[in-house]
Structure 1
Amino acid sequence: MEIEWFKLQDLATQKFKGIPQAPGIYFVRCSKDGTPVSVPRLAGSDNRGILYVGSTVNLRRRISELWKGISGIIEAHTIGKSIVFCRVSEIISMDDYEISWEELETGEIAKGQEWVALKLYANQHKEPPPFNLMIYRKMFAVWGMFKWGESRWAYEPDEFVKSVIGPIEKRQ
């Protein structure tokens, strides 16, 4: 599946038109001239440049809040607080943020896909994406109780999530 990435700055210039006002999952990455920037992680590097995974009931509103948080306009999104606190703007410019999203049927499905994406990322890199600072220990404890496809509570990653995060490694 080919993933389309959009410069966050360009979306802001267009007042976020074209982004659906619907539930979905979104990924934020760092890139230079359309090429992902490798992000050092505990287990190697994330060559996809993923900085954040989120879900929402309204993609347009949440992505707008994300941009406002990153640009320092308001503290509308947790990622903005992280960027300000860590002074990330000294190394990542507004032009370097790209975003991709998938519209989903319900907020519950979006939240399920977000959890699956975070779990897949953590399995690969031994930690969540760098700006996903609000992950609760409870979520990881719950994830550890299930195996893919063996519970009605365990979500299977859809093609969008698999394409952004990468191949799924099955545990023996």
Structure 2
Amino acid sequence: MDSLKIPMSKSVYLHKAAPFSFITENMMIESSVMNELISLIEQRHHKAFWEAILEHINPLDLPHSGFSEYESYGNFVYAKYPHSFEIITRKRDRFAKRLVGEAPSEALLKWYARDYEVISIESWDKTSFLYPFIQRYTIFRIFPPRFYKVLLALFERIR
């Protein structure tokens, strides 16, 4: 975002303005505002926005992020239209695969919904030793998912 030097005014470029991350599972996009951001990138670099973005990604950053459209759009709106959006925090878990596996059944999803509204099943994450028990035996679903999250954290500390 910084290396693109997207102009916000004569002497100010788009930068990380918000004290939090805009990277999220979902975000509502106002198409006219996104088009405005795309136009600013294209006017600044005299080429298609995606070409300018690709040219300004540092290859050393690729293992971590490279470029985030969520961060760029979010900070653009935060800086230019600060009263036009609302942040809603959802109960989410990025590490659900540990307890529900890679392809959870409807029953496991309903169980997980006791504690979470949004979950991610990341390809790089692994299932825990608890997963087979939670999957096969409904008795293990008496306790909510957060209980097992605490239990897994305790096991990690002991290791």
Hey, which of these two has a bigger chunk of helix by percent? 2
TM range (shorter): under 0.3
Higher RCO (CA 8 Å, separation ≥ 6 residues): 1
TM-score between the two structures when normalised by the length of structure 2: 0.26
TM-score between the two structures when normalised by the length of structure 1: 0.25
Hey, which of these two has a bigger chunk of strand by percent? 1
**Computing the radius of gyration over CA atoms, which structure comes out larger, 1 or 2?**
2
